[in-house]
Structure formats: structure tokens, C-alpha cells
Amino acid sequence: MRVDEFLTLHEAIEAGEKKMPAAWTWNGWWYRQFLKANPDLASAVTTVQQDRLRGQTRRGRLGRFGMTGKFGGASRVIAGPVEFQTTTNLGCGFNPNSVGAAAPAIGTPIGRHATTGADVGFDGFAWFMEQIIANPSAFVLGLPGLGKSTLIRKLLIGHVAQGHISIVAGDIKAEYVGFTQAVGGQVIQLGHGAGALNPLDVGALGRVIPTLEAHRDRLEEIGRADLIRRTKEQVHGRQVALVSALVGLARANNEAAGHGIADYEAMIIAVALRELYDGQTIDWEHPPILADLIAQIEAGSAELRDKARAETEAEWKARVDPLLLSLHSLLDGATGQIFGGQTTQPIDVTAPAVCIDVSAIDRGDRAVKAAVMIACWSNAFGSIEASHVLADAGIDKQRYFAVCLDELWQTLAAAPGLVGQVDALTRLNRSTGTALYMITHTFKDLQAVPTEQDRRTAMGFVERAGVVICGGLPHSELELLSNQLPFTEAEAEMITSWSRGATPKRSRSHAAGGVAPGRGRFMIKASKDGTPGIPIQTVLFSTEQRTRIHDTNTRFDDFGDN
């Protein structure tokens, strides 16, 4: 390139019509040699380039491969962030939860994840509808005083808020009465001098039969005319099953009477009940009582004697005397008059919540408590069936229920065969539209049942439960549970640490507010295949704290004032 050509190029660069050629090209090298030979021209080009650079800095814009202007430039590849790996001891200043942990906020808000602090929600229906669990049920384990009832109350409050009906079928310690009253529910009191429950009461299921008969034409139009007959048979079956269970329970601690009820005795009860309903004074509005059943058996109709294969009076007395003695013991024995008359307060399935309070029963009499609990469960699930019958007939809307079976251990070990009663309930909660919550203290409670058959059946409660929720438990409990529910070492350490008491102090101070470390902490295990659980800390909202709806220690409010 000649000198005149370099001058032309130089003028074009000064005018901004061309860019300075790159230094690694031949033209760029020769052009820079030209500028060295003409220093006056070189300073002019430098001034022009600096002014143009300042203008680009002021007008910095996004180019094709990056920002223009000062500190700009092309960037065709963006490198990933630098990663470091260290131990939790050396890297304790960093966030230890960069990956996160399972904390579904589905259903009733119950608290926070014990490790990450994330909000956690749970209730049987919500997790079942999201297909997180296979059936809407939960089995809750934990030592006394660590907040099992508080957790269940929060779940029941959530069900009420969603329009479901919560039923506490037998509140032994009156822990759910305050909650039921707070939501405007129905409290039914049973016990010596507190209220009666008729084992032969038709319940809500029997009381819908007149309504079904009034809509017989409508049922025939929709092809459900058999619903009336089926409902009557269900009521009859429940009456026979409940009386048989109570008789077997009354005989459990009586060596002379044997154990359980004989098959022919259950048949005599069934036939006598049918004869009572064929009479003039007994109907679905006025069900019989135990005294009516006793009188019917003592009379001994021809049909009863024929089916009992009793040809003489002596044979008939031999057949029915043990049964009559057991029935009389339900009226005037340890149960007093609890089963002696008509039900004082039937269950109202339209109430937002129902609590059957049995705290008036002596806590030391396990057999009586078990008998009343069985009757309460039968009454509660009969009411649920009644609601579903009306919904199937198109007479009423479909309702959903949440049932709490608290202090399960007190009933399971009371007599042989009672585990089967609970087992039947745990298998039907999906078909009955019911969320079931079963509560006991430890896994050993399931092993304390009377017979080996009952023990194997009770073990299945944990296996079939949609969710197992563990509060603070000792090491021995986790060893037993490990066959049914695998725990990681971290989970086992966490659960056992929750079973310890608060740290001892040198002196008593109300301001210190010592709280057991495991209070309100639970491990939710939604899977039986070893999947990690969800540790939570229950959180009480301001309304719960102000109303003290969960406070079961009110007896100690004045402790230490004197």
C-alpha cells in the first residue's frame, strides 16, 4: 500500500467512515508503522478513538454477543458457578438446606418442617386426593404429654373449616369437648349419671328408614327400591353385633362364664329382635331397649325354642340362662344404667363436629370403658352410614367425615375379639368417605392384646394406615417398629431425642418456661418403603393460644400460688 493510500485510509478513520485495521493484519501493521513515522497524525487518531470510546460508554447498549462500551465485550460461552464441597463443621456458615426437603403444604396447616422451617400441611382427605397416600387414615404414636391430641385437634379443626364433619367417638379425658364447643358442634355425655346409650338404638341409620319409606315412589323411579330393605338389614345386623360384642366383653373377665358369645346365642338375639319389631309397640321411631330383649327371650316363643333345638323347658333354660345372666349384667352390673334406657342424645350428622364425652366413667374400669367405646364407635359409624344412605337416595347432599379413635390401647386389650371390631373399621374408610385417625401411646400397646390372632391383626393397623405419625418414642419402640416401618439413623435419633424431658434447672422459675424438647414434634412417614419422613413442629395460631383450646393442663393454673 502506497503512502497516498495510507493518507486516504487515515482520513477515513478520522471521519469515522472506517475502523482502524486489526494489528495482526498486514495493513494494520503497515498502518501503525505509518503512524510512527508521522507522530502528528498518530495523536489525532488517538484523540478520535478516545472520544468515540467515551460516546460508546455513555450510550452503552446490548449487542449481539454482549454489552458495548467500557468494560463491555463479546461472551459466547457462559461458565457455570464455581462449586465447593466441604463438611458441615467447616462450612457451618453456609445454608445447609440448599437442596431442600419434602414439605408439602397440602391440606390443613399443622406446622413447620423441623429442619428447613418450611410450612407443612396435612390431612387425610387432602393427601389422599393428591394420591400421596393410598387411603385417608393415619396411625399416631407417641409418649404421653408430647402433643398427640393437639395435633389431632388441629386436623379436626381443618376438617371443620373444609365443611367436613368431625366425630370424636369416645373422648375418655374430655380433651375434645372445648374444640367441639368452639366450632358450634354437639357434645354428647355418657357415663354414670351423665347420659345413657341404648345398645339396641337404631341410631341415625334406623331413623332415616321412615324418610326412605316416604320417598318410596322416588326410589322406585331411580331403581333404588331395595335401599329400604338393605337399610333395615344393616340396622338389624348392627344391633346383633353390638349386643354380642357387649356380652362377650362382659364375660371376658369371668372365668365361670367362659370367653366370648356362642354362635347360637347370637342367633337367639337376632330372632328375638325380629319378633320385637313384628309387635305393635316397637318401631323405627321407638326402638326396643335391653329390658325388652330380655323379656322376649325369657318368654321363649315357639320359633325361638324351635331354632334353639329345645324341646323341653329344661333344655330351653339351659340354652338361654347364661345369655340372660350376661344381658342382666349389662343393665345392673359394672356398667350401671349406661345401657339401661333409651339413648338420651342421638348423634346429629348435620352438626359441624360431634364429641361423645365418656370422661364420667371410672378410668380404672377397663372393661366398662371398652364396652362404652365399642358402643360409641358403632353409633358413630352407623350415623355416617345413615348420611350416605340419604345421599344415595338423592334426598340429602353427600357429606364427608373425619373420625378420631383416641386412646385406642384402652379398648384393644380389654377383651379377645375387640381388635377385629377396630380392624373392620380401618378397612372401610375409603368406601364410607371417612378420614380415620387412630391414636395410641406405643407400638407395644398393639402387642398387649389378649390372643395371638388379635396380635397379628393389630400389627396390620400400622401396615394399612395411609400415614404413620410418630412423636417421641424410646429406642425399644423403634426396634419393634423397624419391622413395619424402616427408619434412617438420623430419623431414629431425632425421634428418640424427642422422648427426653426438659433440661433440669437449679431452681424453679415460671419465667424460664421449660418445655420438653419433643413437645409438638412429629415424624410423618407416608411410605413404608424406607422413604425419608417429614419432621414437623406443630405451630399454634394466635386464636388457638388465646382460647387455650389445646391446653389440657388447666388444673395446674393455680399451682404454686400459695
With the C-alpha atoms ordered 296, 300, 306, 307, is the resulting torsion angle positive or negative? positive
Distance of alpha carbon 237 from alpha carbon 245, whole angstroms: 12
Strands 467-470, 401-405: pairing is: unpaired
Q: Residue type for 478, please? A: L
Distance of alpha carbon 283 from alpha carbon 232, whole angstroms: 11
Q: Residue type for 480, please? A: L
Strands 534-538, 521-525: pairing is: antiparallel
Place of cell 387411603: 135
Q: Which residues of 420-448 are buried (b: 16+ CB within 10 A; e: fewer)?
A: ebbeebbeebeebbbbbbbbbbbbebbee
Distance of alpha carbon 403 from alpha carbon 156, whole angstroms: 9
pLDDT score for 499: 82
Distance of alpha carbon 195 from alpha carbon 357, whole angstroms: 10
Other CB atoms within a 10 A radius of the CB of residue 337 amount to 12
Q: Residue type for 13, please? A: I
User: 333, exposed or middle or buried, with CB in 10 Å at 0-12, 13-18, 19+?
Assistant: middle
Distance of alpha carbon 125 from alpha carbon 164, whole angstroms: 10
The grid cell for 361 is: 366413667
Distance of alpha carbon 374 from alpha carbon 252, whole angstroms: 14
Angle at 544 between CA 541 and CA 547, to 5 degrees: 145
pLDDT score for 249: 76
pLDDT score for 55: 47
Other CB atoms within a 10 A radius of the CB of residue 409 amount to 17
The number of helix segments (H) and strand segments (E) in the chain equals 22, 11
pLDDT score for 160: 94
513 sits in the region (left: phi over 0; alpha: psi -120 to 50; else beta) called: left
pLDDT score for 58: 47
Walk across the sheet containing 401-405 and list its strands: 119-121, 109-113, 534-538, 521-525, 467-470, 137-141, 434-440, 401-405, 165-171, 353-357, 186-189
pLDDT score for 219: 82
239 sits in the region (left: phi over 0; alpha: psi -120 to 50; else beta) called: alpha
Distance of CA 230 to the CA centre of its chain: 31
Cβ contacts of 414 within 8 Å, gap of 6 or more: 249, 252, 366, 367, 369, 370, 371
pLDDT score for 363: 61
Place of cell 352407623: 382
Strands 434-440, 353-357: pairing is: unpaired
Paired strand residues for 438: 139, 405
pLDDT score for 163: 92
Strands 534-538, 165-171: pairing is: unpaired
Q: E strands, 80-154, where?
A: 109-113, 119-121, 137-141
Distance of alpha carbon 252 from alpha carbon 140, whole angstroms: 28
Torsion angle of C-alpha atoms 126, 131, 132, 134, degrees rounded to 10 = 100
pLDDT score for 429: 56
* pLDDT tens over the chain, length 562 residues: 567 777 787 777 777 677 777 766 777 777 777 777 877 766 655 555 545 544 444 455 666 666 666 666 666 666 667 777 777 667 665 555 444 467 888 999 999 998 888 899 999 999 999 988 888 989 898 888 888 889 999 999 999 999 999 999 888 888 899 899 999 999 998 877 777 888 888 877 788 888 888 888 888 887 777 888 888 888 888 888 888 888 887 776 565 445 678 888 889 999 998 888 887 666 777 788 888 899 989 988 889 888 888 888 888 888 889 889 888 888 776 666 788 778 888 888 889 999 998 888 766 566 777 778 888 888 888 888 888 888 888 888 889 999 998 877 777 766 666 677 667 655 555 567 889 998 888 877 777 776 777 777 777 777 788 899 998 888 887 777 777 778 888 888 888 888 876 566 555 554 445 567 788 899 998 877 777 889 999 998 888 888 888 777 666 666 656 5
Paired strand residues for 67: 62
234 sits in the region (left: phi over 0; alpha: psi -120 to 50; else beta) called: alpha
Cα distance from N-terminal residue to C-terminal residue, the chain = 112
Strands 186-189, 137-141: pairing is: unpaired
Q: Identify the DSSP state of 452.
A: H
Paired strand residues for 354: 167, 186
User: 15, exposed or middle or buried, with CB in 10 Å at 0-12, 13-18, 19+?
Assistant: exposed
pLDDT score for 44: 59
**Closest to 141 in 3D by CA, of 534, 544, 421, 525:** 525
Give pairs for 209-217: CB < 8 Å, separation 24+: 209/235, 209/284, 210/284, 210/285, 211/390, 211/395, 212/389, 212/393, 212/395, 215/393, 215/395
